[in-house]
Amino acid sequence: MTQRSTAPHYIGLTGNIATGKSTVGLVLADLGATVIDADKAAHRTMEPGSEVYKSIVAAFGSSIVGEGGAIRRESLGRIVFNDPAALRRLEEIVHPATRLEVQRQIAEADTDVIVIEAIKLIEAGWHRTCQALWVTTCPMEIQIERLVATRRLSYDQAYQRVTSQPPQHLKIELADVVIDTSGSLAETRRQVEAAWRAIDTGGSHGDREDLQGR
C-alpha cells in the first residue's frame, strides 16, 4: 500500500504523552502509510518570524526565547503545564495554524493509508472523519520512565505532565484499535502489523475534503 489506487483510508492515531504514538507511527510508515505528525506540524508553525511565533512571544514573554531566536519548548512547557488557562491560550494560538499545515500535508499525500498522529486528535475532532481511531496505551509508571529517560525531566516533572492529561481510558473507550506499548518493540510491532492487515482500503472511505476542511 504505497501508491494510492482509491480514496485514502484515514487512521487517527492518538494516546497520552509517552504512550508510544511515535513508535507506532514509525511502524505504520514502514508498512507504507503516510504519517502526518501534528506535533511536528505545530513546531513548524512556531518558527521564528511566523505569526504564531509572534503571538506566542507576545502572550508568554521573551523569556521563552533562546539565544538563536527559537522558542525554547522546555521554558514554554514549564509555563503551560502548570497553568490550564495558559495551556488553553497556547492551543488557541497554535491549533488553527497547525490544522492548516496538516491539511497541506494531507493534500500532498499519495498513499492508500494516511495516518493523522496527534495527542489532541480527539479534542480537535479529527477522529470523527477517520475510518479508524487507534489509541496507544501503557502503564503510568512506564510513561514517567520514558519521559525521565528521553526528555531529561525529573520524576516530579514527568509525573506532573502525565497526570495533567485526561485519563487514558477516555481515549481507549473510543478506540477501534488499542496498541499496548508496554512490552518490547517487537511485541508492539506485532500488534500494529495485525491491525494493518485488517485494513480494507477497497471498502468505504471518508471524504478527503471533509477531513481537510474540518
Residue 1 within a domain? no
Domain holding 82, by residue range, is 9-213
Residues 194-207 as b/e (b if ≥16 CB within 10 A, e otherwise) read ebbeebebeeeeee
* Confidence tier at 209 by pLDDT (50, 70, 90): very low
Q: Which of 80-94, 95-109, 156-170, 190-204 has the lowest mean pLDDT?
A: 190-204
Asked if the structure places residue 4 within a domain, the reply is: no
- Across the beta sheet with 132-137, the strand order is 34-37, 113-117, 9-14, 132-137, 177-180
81 falls in which pLDDT band (50, 70, 90)?
confident
Tell me, yes or no, whether 2 lies in a domain: no
CATH number, domain of 17, equals 3.40.50.300
Mean pLDDT throughout 123-134? 93
Could you tell me the three cell numbers for 170?
A: 477516555
pTM: 0.86
- Domain tally, the chain: 1
Distance CA 214, CA 211 (A): 6
Asked whether residue 145 is assigned to any structural domain, the reply reads: yes
Domain annotation covers residue 124? yes
208 in a domain, yes or no? yes
* Dihedral sign, Cα of residue 158, residue 161, residue 166, residue 168: negative
